[in-house]
Structure 1
Amino acid sequence: MSSGEPVLEIKGLCVDYGLGDRAVRAVRDVDLTLHRGEVLGLAGESGSGKSTLAYGMTRLLAPPGVISGGEVVYHPPAGDPVDVLRLDDAGLRRFRWAETSIVFQGAMNSLNPVHRVSTQLTDVLAAHRPAMSKTDRLSRARELLTLVGIAPDRLDSYPHQLSGGMRQRVMIGMALALEPQVVIMDEPTTALDVVMQRQILRQLVDLRERLGFSVLFITHDLSLLVEFSDRIAIMYGGRIVEQAPAAQLYRDSLHPYSEGLLHAFPPLRGPRRELTGIPGAPPDLRSMPQGCAFHPRCPKVFDRCTEELPPLVVPVDGSTARAAAAATEGPTAGAEQRSVACWLHPGR
């Protein structure tokens, strides 16, 4: 459960692809806070900037990706906060895996096909804990496989000898090898069937409760996040357009885009309803529309939407009271109220 204390704060982060006048801004002034012990879901269509945000905040962007502004402040359990974007190479090497780890979308692409599972798990330990003996590293590798529900005798297997779900569990075990405070999961269940998705998610929630790490879970499938996230942030056109406790967003979404995503999958409970898609296509980042980026697709658009960009604010209409009530009930109580970037809900 979340303590309400921040473990990672993203402030005004901007990420571009390319330089100069031809640069394409993929992440635009994003502010996002992950609290200690929290599962924060990040949802949006493909191309909304979710993965770019994850790679930017961990400094894993491949060229021509460039971080053009902002801060990523990590709060360790002890000691002073550090700006990840200002770490030197040695500091960044210590930070990765030990403090923050990442589980990528395709486990088969992330695992080395010519090395056994044991080698790939122990290499992480050897790189960050050189004083650890080979026997202790193998013992830890067996412990990690057991932790994620895989028999230790699969240590001698190659990635191609494992199922998709097992490979993804190996990646989760690798991410937890050094007991990091933050685990970033970039669509880790996309290539898996629905049954395996639920098994891995249940196991992830159980591990979070046992070990106390925080999770930033990135996906386009909002139905997954509603089930197990504490809080959800919705991303569109490189910006956060709504944040709320998961149950509150499911019951009472404020942004028309969030509402569109929620109506794009069948309800988990209650009467049947007709599924509706979101008309149009995501914006071209090279030529963003004036005003709200969603206005060309929005069923509730009015004149102001086409002229001014709405800021991400705490709404002052009737939803404020409902949001405050939800915040006091949920695991992030007192940590953060909901916010929305929409002229239908002006801020304070």
Structure 2
Amino acid sequence: MTAEPILTISGLNVDYGTGANGVRALRDIDLTLHRGEVLGLAGESGSGKSTLAYAVTRLLSPPGVITGGDVHYHRPGGGEPVDILSLTPDELRAFRWQELSIVFQGAMNSLNPVHTVHSQLTDVLTAHRPGMRAAERTARAEELLTLVGISADRLAAYPHQLSGGMRQRVMIAMALALEPEIVIMDEPTTALDVVMQRQILRKLVELRERLSFSVVFITHDISLLIEFSDRIAIMYGGRIVEQAGAAEIYRDPRHPYSDGLLHSFPALHGPRRELTGIPGSPPHLSAMPTGCAFHPRCGKAFEPCAERVPALAPPDAGQDREVACWLHH
């Protein structure tokens, strides 16, 4: 992995609705994905993870609207960055899947039940590679299935004839069809059992090493991210509250929310530890607390937490990590 950025997000804000009934779902998001990196995005349901993914890919459904900020894609080899938020519909259609693809939440149910795997894998090739002959598209579809560990003879199968894990891998194959530089995965293993989750993740790591694409992996299960992410960003209440290397987050979480997430799942190795979890529930977007959004649930909250929003900044000079918490500022 190099320090060269491939995707930069600056000051991104997203609202659902407008006027008096509007709520802010993302607040001043600053995030950088580096080339060849796996960036994990963790947080409870409602923290803004999927909204961020759909904002970056311009797939927000109404009444979602981007109200501020910039998203830039940096092509390999340099040149002017691509302003994703300014792309026309035709430019956006060419950009998606070619440069950036997404595996949607509940991906194994995203396949069309009345079309074969062959039809759905070759559809993206037909749209983006009009010069390819039918035989070439079929050969590429067979190659993609083999790439994700599925026999090429399953091309003729319908989705209901595949297991959940196989359908999930077909969706991953579809996302890799045009060899994009960035793949966003929105909780792709949520509906799978833990054995299949590990198989999917091992295959993903293998593919990333072979094809050198960058990954944004979104999940509420931080234990998955620690295993294979390079960096992790923690979201709460529409903000990023901490970001650091995966090993740093595991060994020394600085934000109380990050610490709570880590102590919400059992350790598979080492001494037995008590599961503490996080008291209370995430805030509703229409009734966000003042100051730090986490302070009503935080056992370490003190005077400034309820009054002022802490900035996302390095807790100590020279550190390559950031945390938004008054304990460290």
Fold conserved between structures, TM > 0.5: yes
Q: Distance in 2 between matches of 1:293 and 1:105?
A: 26
The 5 A counterparts of 1:26-65 are: 26-65=25-64
Structure 1 segments of 4 or more deviating over 6 A? none
2:16 matches 1:17: yes
The DSSP-based 3-state class of the residue aligned with 1:286 is: helix
Kindly indicate whether residue 324 of structure 2 is the aligned counterpart of residue 341 of structure 1.
yes
**Equivalent position of 1:70 in the other structure:** 69
How many residue pairs were aligned? 328
Cα deviations across residues 102-124 of structure 1 (Å, max 9, x unaligned)? Answer: 00121343111100000000000
Q: Is the 8 A contact 2:5 2:33 kept in 1?
A: yes
Residue 39 of structure 1 aligns to which amino acid in structure 2?
V
Q: For structure 2, which runs of at least 5 residues remain unmatched after alignment?
A: none
Amino acid at match of 1:345: H
* Aligned counterparts of 1:21 and 1:236: Cα–Cα separation in 2: 23
Identity of aligned residues (%): 73
Structure 1: gaps (5+ residues): 325-336
TM-score for the superposition, normalised by structure 1: 0.93
Q: Identify the residue that residue 199 of structure 1 maps to in structure 2.
A: 199
Contact 2:50–2:218 (CA under 8 A) maintained in structure 1? yes
SS where residue 305 of structure 2 aligns?
A: helix
Aligned mates of 1:60, 1:110 — CA distance in 2: 15
What secondary structure sits across from 2:120 in the alignment?
Answer: helix
**Does 2:279 align with 1:298?**
no
3-state SS, counterpart of residue 272 of structure 1: coil
**Structure 2 counterpart of 1:299, one-letter code:** G
Q: Which residue of 2 aligns with 1:208?
A: 208
1:308 alignment partner in structure 2: 308
Establish whether residue 240 from structure 1 lines up as the match of residue 244 from structure 2: no
AA at the equivalent of 1:101: S
Letter in structure 2 aligned against 1:201: L
1:209-266 Cα shifts (integer Å, max 9, x gaps): 0100000000000000000000000000000000000001100000000000000001
Q: What is the RMSD of the two structures over their aligned residues, measured on CA atoms?
A: 0.9
Residue 160 (str. 1) matches residue 143 (str. 2): no
Amino acid at match of 2:328: H
Amino acid at match of 1:129: R
What corresponds to 2:180 in structure 1? 180
Aligned partners of 1:160, 1:108: CA distance in 2, in Å?
A: 10
Shift of 1:150: 0.1
TM-score normalised by L of structure 2: 0.98
Q: Deviations over 1:62-100 (max 9, x none)?
A: 111101111110001143211100000111011100000
Secondary structure at the counterpart of residue 8 of structure 1 = strand
SS in 2 for 1:140: helix
Higher mean Cα deviation, 77-86 or 255-264? 77-86
Task: State how far apart, in whole Å, the 1-side matches of 2:18 and 2:189 are.
Answer: 34
C-alpha contact 2:108 2:171 (8 A) present in aligned 1: no
**Partners of 1:129 and 1:80 in 2: how far apart?**
25
